[in-house]
Amino acid sequence: MFKLLVHLKKYKKECVLGPLFKLLEALLELFVPLVIASIIDDGIANGDRGYVVGMVLLLVGLGVVGLAFSITAQYFAAKAAVGFSTKVKHELFRHIESLSYSEIDHVGTSTLITRMTSDMNQIQNGVNLTLRLLLRSPFVVFGAMIMAFTVNVQAALVFVAAIPLLSVVIFGIMLWCIPLYKKVQQRLDKVLGITRENLTGVRVIRAFCKEEQEVDSFTRRNEELTAGQKFVGRISALMNPLTYIIINLAIIWLIQTGSVQVNSGILSQGDVVALYNYMSQILVELIKLANLIISLTKCVACGNRVQALFEIKSSQTISDDCSIIGDESNAVEFRNVSLKYRDAGEDSLTGMDFAVKRGETVGIIGGTGSGKTSLVNMIPRFYDATEGEVLIGGRNVNSFPLPELREKIGIVPQKAVLFKGSIRENMQWGKNDATDEEIMTAAKTAQAADVIESKGGLDYEIEQGGRNLSGGQRQRFTIARALVKEPEILILDDSASALDFATDAALRKAIREMDSKPTVFIVSQRTSSIQHADKIIVLDDGKIVGIGKHEDLLSSCPVYSEIYNSQFKAESNGKEAV
């Protein structure tokens, strides 16, 4: 947590002025009981109405000045806390964006969202309260005790006895609550996780009529959170009655002691009232301090969780060796590459060894779970090979700065993701300064031009996730987005699954006719989508079981022929029969 405080450096002035003005307010507050005592002893006792009015005006003045100090302190504290939180959020988001898929998969999306929202809010509140109260409360407690000694030493001994007892009760309850608050925060994580899962998967839940089951699951998690909050709330609720019992007993003792001394002429009535006010101030400030420490505990716990994310280092390092170690005419080359996911029991891919020439079209096919997506994800370094080397243009991908590497590659993932905004804004993700003409050219290649025309043009607003588009339209737009940048390498990861055969064929034909002649990787379950590729790679259980052209693989690769025959009726001559 304390490593995060480096982001407060920009707010040194606010971190000093906030507590300073709060201490000035507290100092004025400590003078109020003395003014009230003076009103009673010198004004009311002597019937001096002018003196009383003057002292009341002084109280009003102290109140107004104290309010000004308090508002000023709140302004500086809020400015520092909000600025600090904003800075940390920006840095955290930048850090998360720098992590590889392996780290993001390991931490989990729901956890990252919780850290960015709930935890950061707790940190912001903790910093705000610290700047306002951490110095003020102890200052008032010890200041009130010292001021009580200036009034009367014997009566002030009540404070010496009451303050430690109050501290034991308040801080004892606080220490009891701290681990319970941590458990509550963990249960909150679970509730947020299941909430996110249900909201993102709401269509699947409804499709399988699992609403009641998910409601019951959410209710159970929420009840666990509620039970934890109620339990810790009951313990926290003990603070007020116990402290008021102690403070009222101390006040009774103080009044009894004071009355004796008033009768003896040692104390005045105003002094007793002043001592009573100081005791009340101490009670209020100790409760504030206890609540502050509980908030600080939450803040530190949340800060540690955020700091834990900062301490996760990306497994993707950039090699200083930029030398060409392979054939530059090869767009992509895999040299005995293996891939093992984090915490996985065995390799997902083994022995990937092949080369692809510039401008070639490569089809990748295999059964479900055979490693097709894993293979293409190593080209843009979404995942790093655990063994072997992946080369682009004869150069190890590990030697490319990630922006430079990914600028060469256009990738269309399995899940078509579009963002809220116009069609133009979505297309410009591929190229920031893309003109309308470039966008429409890419859309024509992606067979999406007619969709744009039917929607009224590039200004049509797409909803979050592309909810107002069909599956095929979303896929065509994501393909167009990748084509806008005119990449050297184009990866289509099962990105035409929602397209009909005619549109799919037209798309592949248009890509082949592109002027930029990109090297194309087509991952597909359809043999019809890849049968005209220059090279087809057949995967089975993470291994290459065949490389070649369509006709060669039909006769030499049982896995490929099995996939083909399952999609087309096999004739005796081995040709298609619809």
If asked whether residues 532 and 419 sit together in one domain, one would say: yes
If asked whether residues 53 and 118 sit together in one domain, one would say: yes
Q: What is the DSSP letter of 545?
A: E
CB-based contact 356:533 (threshold 8 Å): no
Question: Under 8 Å CB-to-CB from 233, ≥6 apart: which residues?
Answer: none
Alpha helices in 363-500 (DSSP H): 372-377, 402-407, 423-427, 436-445, 449-454, 471-484
Return the pLDDT at 97. Answer: 86
Assess if residue 513 is contained within a domain: yes
Return the pLDDT at 573. Answer: 42
Side-chain-side CA neighbours of residue 174 (13 Å): 20
Assess if residue 553 is contained within a domain: yes
Q: What is the DSSP letter of 485?
A: T
Rounded Cα distance between 6 and 3, Å, is 6
Return the pLDDT at 577. Answer: 36
CA-only gyration radius of the chain, Å: 36
The bridge status of strand 489-493 relative to strand 409-412 is parallel
What is 303-368 written as a DSSP string?
Answer: HHHHHHHHT---S----S-----S-TTEEEEEEEEEE--TT-SS-SEEEEEEEEETT-EEEEEEST
In degrees and rounded to multiples of 5, residue 137 shows phi and psi of -60, -50
The dihedral formed by the CA atoms of 87, 88, 90 and 94, expressed in degrees to the nearest 10? 140
If asked whether residues 49 and 140 sit together in one domain, one would say: yes
First-to-final CA distance of the chain? 66
CATH number of the domain enclosing 271: 1.20.1560.10
If asked whether residues 300 and 225 sit together in one domain, one would say: yes
The number of beta carbons lying within 10 Å of the beta carbon of residue 90 is 11
Assess if residue 186 is contained within a domain: yes
CA distances to 91, 101, 152 from 143, rounded to whole Å, are 41, 56, 14
Q: What share of the chain is helix, strand, coil (3-state, %, to 5)?
A: 65, 10, 25
Token pair in block for residue 189: 């994580």
The number of beta carbons lying within 10 Å of the beta carbon of residue 569 is 8
The dihedral formed by the CA atoms of 273, 279, 282 and 287, expressed in degrees to the nearest 10? -120
CATH number of the domain enclosing 472: 3.40.50.300
Among 291, 310, 329, the domain boundary falls at: 310
In degrees and rounded to multiples of 5, residue 355 shows phi and psi of -135, 145
Assess if residue 14 is contained within a domain: yes
CB-based contact 545:539 (threshold 8 Å): yes
If asked whether residues 95 and 226 sit together in one domain, one would say: yes
305-341 CB burial, b ≥16 within 10 A, e <16: bbbebeeeeeebeeeeeeeeebeeebbbbbbebebbb
Assess if residue 391 is contained within a domain: no
129-157 CB burial, b ≥16 within 10 A, e <16: bbbbbbbbbebbbebbbebbeebbeebbe
Rounded Cα distance between 418 and 428, Å, is 12
Structural domain range at position 107: 2-310
Question: Can you give the three-state secondary structure of 498-534, one letter per residue?
Answer: CCCHHHHHHHHHHHHCCCCCCEEEEECCCHHHHCCCC
Assess if residue 315 is contained within a domain: no
The continuous run of DSSP H or E covering 190 comes out as helix 153-200
- Its pTM stands at 0.73
CB-based contact 537:364 (threshold 8 Å): yes
Rounded Cα distance between 496 and 519, Å, is 18
Return the pLDDT at 118. Answer: 83
Assess if residue 535 is contained within a domain: yes
If asked whether residues 469 and 529 sit together in one domain, one would say: yes
If asked whether residues 297 and 425 sit together in one domain, one would say: no
Per-position pLDDT tens, the chain of length 578 = 678 888 888 899 999 999 999 999 999 988 888 888 888 888 887 888 888 899 999 999 999 999 999 999 999 999 999 999 999 999 999 999 888 888 888 887 777 888 888 889 989 999 999 998 888 888 988 888 888 888 878 777 888 888 888 888 877 887 887 788 778 877 887 887 788 788 878 889 999 998 999 999 999 999 999 998 899 888 878 877 887 888 788 888 888 887 888 777 777 888 888 888 888 888 788 778 777 877 887 788 788 889 989 998 888 888 877 777 878 889 999 999 999 988 777 889 999 999 999 999 999 999 888 899 999 999 999 888 999 999 999 999 999 988 899 899 999 988 888 999 999 999 999 888 899 999 999 999 999 999 999 998 999 999 988 888 988 999 999 999 999 989 999 999 988 888 888 888 899 899 989 988 999 999 998 888 898 899 999 999 999 999 999 999 998 999 999 999 888 754 434 444 33
Rounded Cα distance between 68 and 74, Å, is 10
Return the pLDDT at 335. Answer: 93
Sort 205 into a burial class: Cβ within 10 Å, 0-12 / 13-18 / 19+: middle
If asked whether residues 300 and 413 sit together in one domain, one would say: no
Count of the separate structural domains present in the chain: 2
If asked whether residues 279 and 364 sit together in one domain, one would say: no
CB-based contact 379:390 (threshold 8 Å): yes
If asked whether residues 427 and 296 sit together in one domain, one would say: no
CA distances to 4, 137, 532, 570 from 34, rounded to whole Å, are 43, 19, 95, 103
Return the pLDDT at 569. Answer: 59
CA distances to 76, 131, 218, 284 from 14, rounded to whole Å, are 5, 9, 43, 26
Assess if residue 348 is contained within a domain: no
Q: Scanning the structure block, which residue is given the tokens 């699951």?
A: 217
The number of residues making up the chain comes to 578
Centroid of chain to Cα 4: 15
Token pair in block for residue 455: 């929607």
Interhelix angle 239-264/211-237, rounded to 10 degrees, is: 20
**Secondary structure class of 371 (helix, strand, coil):** coil
If asked whether residues 480 and 571 sit together in one domain, one would say: yes
Looking at residue 400, its amino acid is: F
Looking at residue 497, its amino acid is: S
The number of beta carbons lying within 10 Å of the beta carbon of residue 231 is 14
Among 310, 325, 348, the domain boundary falls at: 310
CB-based contact 372:422 (threshold 8 Å): no
Residue from 486, 489, 519 nearest 380 by CA: 489
Looking at residue 381, its amino acid is: R
If asked whether residues 271 and 365 sit together in one domain, one would say: no
Token pair in block for residue 158: 């009540």
